[in-house]
Amino acid sequence: MARDETFGKVMEIIGRYAKNKDAIEGATEDTNILEDLKVNSARLVDVILDFEDEFDIEVDDEDADAVNTVGDAVTLIEAKLA
């Protein structure tokens, strides 16, 4: 799967939980999921579990701890799919 395609799916999932809908439009890989997109930290686990379902991967807590930006999420998913 191309990185752009992964990015698009990641943004689609994060978009369900983001409170800052305006920031979704201009999001890049450097966009911080909690601070910029205003995803509630309590919801971040739901985002990660949606990644698991969407990409058929398993993410543990240690992996999830490294996810701060959209790019981190894309990198994690690509590594799991490799």
Which parts of this chain interact with other proteins (CB under 8 A)?
34-35, 40-42, 44-46, 48-49, 52, 58-62, 64-68
Least Cβ distance, residue 56 to other proteins (angstroms): 14
| Residue 25 or 58 having the CB closest to other proteins | 58
Is the distance from CB of 12 to CB of 55 less than 8 angstroms?
A: no
Closest listed residue to residue 11, CA positions, set 57, 63, 70, 59: 70
Least Cβ distance, residue 41 to other proteins (angstroms): 4
Distance of alpha carbon 75 from alpha carbon 65, whole angstroms:
13
Least Cβ distance, residue 49 to other proteins (angstroms): 6
Is the distance from CB of 38 to CB of 23 less than 8 angstroms?
A: yes
